Amino acid sequence: MFRAAERPPVLHKAGADRRVAPHLSDYAATRASFSWDAIRRELLGPSAGTVNIAHLAVDRHAAGAQGERTAFRFLPASGAARDVSYAELARLTNRFANVLAALGVMKGERVFVLCGRIPELYTAVLGGLKRGAVVSPLFSAFGPGPIAMRIGIGAGKVLVTTEALYRRKVEKVRAEMPTLEHVILVSDDGTPTAVSGTHDFGALMAAASDRFNCEPTRGEDMALLHFTSGTTGRPKGAVHVHGAVVTHYATGRYALDLHAGDVFWCTADPGWITGTSYGIVAPLLHGVTSVVDVGDFDAERWYSILEQQQVTVWYTAPTAIRMLMKAGPELARKRAYPALRFVSSVGEPLNPEAVWWGKDVLGLPIHDNWWQTETGGIMVSNYAALDIKPGSMGLPLPGVDAAIVERGPAGAPLRFVTEPGVEGELVLKAGWPSMFRGYLNEEERYRKCFREGWYLTGDLAKRDADGYYWFVGRADDVIKSAGHLIGPFEVESVLMEHPAVAEAGVIGKPDPVVGEMVKAFVSLKKGFEPSEPLRMELLGHARKRLGAAVAPKEIEFKPALPKTRSGKVMRRLLKARELGLPEGDLSTLEPES
Ligand code: PRX
């Protein structure tokens, strides 16, 4: 085993596992011959006018021999796995589409889903798409604040959730969501739910037919709404269309190297876009079996899943890999993973050490890839047959043009950086099929993401002489914690709701495991003094409102927060001071008392 300093800069694939020939073996040739139209034709066949994600993902496979293949294998916390075949998934999603139709849900209306990774979540998402509704999956670790905010922005008409989540997180804020006409509750213990003002999922499903004519949606019809966070303002609803499915199909093939017969495990929750694009859509498009673990991370359990389920392709995240590394190699080596063929990771920078750890401990390196909620699918990737430069995100997907630019002042033309190794903003040529089509109701914010036909990602990166991209950092203040994007503004707003808080500034503090940890700085109103009980109270208030996934882990009192002359808290300066880094340009700083 190499020690860090001895690792070579390139991990060569010569002699790599070739039991299954990778889909992409010659990058230049695949890139040169790639055409989105050809992929579209292959997936959609001659009926190119209508495109429905759920039809292509489920119904297309349901008839015939493939119908009996397992689409999802749900692993409960304990007890037997529940297998759902493609044919059964078709029937379940038909039933749910009929449930929505019976409730009067029309094409384009919004269906929110707030559940753990239970079968009903998958039924609701795919059934909603069949109905032609716009589906928005929410992370079940959100608190009432983020839930009500997102359903409000999205004008949710239906919410599918569980009885326990409803009682804990929704009931009290239901009045804040006037558009919500129907709440459908999944029972937690199998007995029908009977909560006033709600429907029982099981009862509605039992009364619905399992035949449904899928809504003939068009490629540009809105399909999914995924919320993401910016530096300022409310969360943004990234609009995705049915035609995005073409990217999911292409990336399933080239970036994840899915082959017929694979057992695929995407560890992301569908409350985040990775868990929808790659935890639901892409594997179904390829007719493979997906493993879904209902539980949260547990090192021993995860190794046992890899081994026992004979996972062949695994898509996970750097935080999880770092937690496995922390658990020690002995745990991994207690088991064997002969079925495993390809491992990849997304969402945050993957340390070079983690790439090598995979090679040492699992026998396979980890392949980093890069994308965003806005891109809808994988855009830059390390590929099964290509050498890896550990620390690099890889090469752009065939069909995707990437570049590094300097934005310059507003109105100035973009300057394209051609020199290798020079840092700038990562941009993508607009027009790939899964590109977001808007931020819901925020035309101006969307427009600002594009210049001269390029989408500006807001990520800083550099490209080396071989065309590999290297992540440098975010150009803004958003926080990436355990792979989840967190908007500091949303956290600050909730802290400011507390009567003791005068000002709040929230930063991501580097953390060796979760990447960044949410830390809040708070100054108090007159009449309040910093104290440990008050700190605990604020932590508790934030956790109750925001949920564990978003709430700060640390709160520090300050007599005052550094602000610009226009009164905006300078998070950048709070962060520099926290980390003992140079304070940078302070010309806009309001003199501190
Ligand atoms: O900053 C980049 C980081 O995650 C951001 C996108 O977050 P989100 O919209 O939640 O993405 C969901 C789908 C992955 C990016 O702007 N990011 C993503 N992948 C990587 C990454 N940072 C470094 N390396 C990556 N591979």
Q: Using one digit for the tens of pLDDT, what is the confidence trace for 20-67? A: 999 999 999 999 999 999 999 999 987 768 999 999 999 999 988 899
State yes or no: pLDDT of 6 exceeds 80.
no
Tokens 């602000």, residue? 563
**Average confidence (pLDDT) over 500-512:** 95
Q: Are 262 and 343 in contact (CB under 8 A)?
A: no
Closest CA to 117 of 271, 323, 278, 228: 271
Instruction: Report the predicted TM-score, pTM, of the whole model to 2 decimal places.
Output: 0.94
Which residues in 216-235 are b (16+ Cβ under 10 Å) and which e?
A: ebebebbbbbbbbbbeeebb
Q: How far is the CA of 209 from the centre of ligand 1 (A)?
A: 41
Helix/strand/coil for 384: coil
Helix (H, G, I), strand (E, B) or coil at 355: helix
Residue nearest to atom 5 of ligand 1 (CA): 372
pLDDT of residue 582: 86
Query: What is the 347 CA–ligand 1 centroid distance (Å)?
Result: 4
Mean predicted lDDT score pLDDT of the chain: 94
pLDDT at residue 279 is higher than 60: yes
CA 266 to chain centre: 11
Give the pLDDT score at 19: 81
Nearest to 73, CA basis, from 218, 251, 279: 279
User: Looking at per-residue confidence, does 408 or 471 come out higher?
Assistant: 471
Q: Which of 39-43, 349-353, 563-567 has the lowest mean pLDDT?
A: 563-567
Per-residue pLDDT at 565: 83
- Mutational pocket test of ligand 1: of 395, 480, 490, the residue with most ligand atoms within 8 Å of the beta carbon: 480
Q: Which of 281, 372, 468 to mutate to test the pocket of ligand 1 (most atoms within 8 A of CB)?
A: 372
Which atom number of ligand 1 is nearest to the Cα of residue 368? 26
Q: Is the pLDDT of residue 120 over 60?
A: yes
Mean pLDDT of 551-558: 97
Distance 378 CA to ligand 1 centre (A): 10
Distance CA 29, CA 383 (A): 14
Tokens 């390829």 found at: 286
Task: Measure Cα distances from 491 to 139, 190, 273, 504, 555 in Å.
Answer: 16, 36, 21, 9, 12
Write the CATH number of the domain with boundaries 479-579.
3.30.300.30
Q: Report the interhelical angle of 488-496 vs 532-546 (nearest 10°).
A: 120
Token pair for 325: 């590394």
Confidence grade of residue 169 (pLDDT, cut at 50, 70, 90) = very high
Residue 99 near residue 208 (C-beta atoms within 8 A): yes
Q: Which of 22, 33, 208, 17 shows the shortest CA–CA distance to 124?
A: 208
For 244, the token pair is 């995005």
Distance of CA 11 from the midpoint of ligand 1 (Å): 23
Rounded CA-CA distance 455/238 in Å is 14
The percentage of the chain sitting over the pLDDT mark of 70, rounded to a whole number, equals: 98
Residue 426 pLDDT more than 80?
A: yes
Sorted by where each begins, the domain ranges of the chain are 479-579
Contact 380, 369 (CB under 8 A): yes
Contact 469 CB / ligand 1 (< 6 Å): no
| DSSP H or E segment with residue 263 | strand 263-266
- The proportion of the chain whose per-residue pLDDT surpasses 90, expressed as a percent, equals 89
* Confidence check: pLDDT of 18 > 90: no
Pick 233 or 73 by higher pLDDT. 73
Residue for token digits 């050490």?
A: 353
What's the gap in Å between 52 CA and the centre of ligand 1? 27
Q: What atom of ligand 1 comes closest to residue 277's alpha carbon?
A: 13
Higher-confidence residue: 478 or 47? 478
Ligand 1 midpoint to CA 309 (Å) = 28
Check the CA dihedral 73-482-370-129 and report its sign. Answer: positive
pLDDT at 68: 96
Residue 593: its pLDDT value, please? 58
Cβ–ligand 1 contact at 200 (below 6 Å): no
Residue 2, pLDDT > 60, answer no
Is the pLDDT at 4 greater than 60? The verdict is: no
Among 178, 286, 269, residue whose Cα is nearest residue 226: 269
Phi, psi angles (nearest 5°) of residue 578: -60, -40
Cα separation, 215 vs 222, whole angstroms: 12
Mutation choice for ligand 1 from 315, 371, 456, CB with most ligand atoms inside 8 A = 371
Measured in Å, residue 43 CA sits from the centre of ligand 1 at: 27
The single-letter DSSP state of residue 569 is B
What is the rounded average pLDDT of the residues 508-532? Answer: 96
* Residue 176 DSSP one-character state: G
Q: Which SS3 state, helix, strand or coil, does residue 49 take?
A: coil
Residue 592 burial (CB < 10 Å; 0-12/13-18/19+)?
exposed
The pLDDT score that the predictor gives to residue 1 is: 46
- Check: CB of residue 267 under 8 Å from CB of residue 320: yes
Is the pLDDT score of 204 beyond 50? yes
Question: Is the beta carbon of 393 within 6 A of some atom in ligand 1?
Answer: yes
* CA distance to 59, 224, 246, 281, per residue, from 52 (Å): 10, 12, 11, 11
pLDDT of residue 233: 81
Average pLDDT over residues 378-405: 97
**Atom 4 of ligand 1, nearest CA residue:** 347
User: What pLDDT is stored for residue 513 in this prediction?
Assistant: 94
Residue 322 has pLDDT above 60, yes or no: yes
Task: Name the band, by pLDDT with cuts 50, 70 and 90, for residue 200.
Answer: very high
Ligand 1 lined by 371 (C-beta under 6 Å)? yes
- With cut-offs at 50, 70 and 90, classify the pLDDT of residue 527: very high
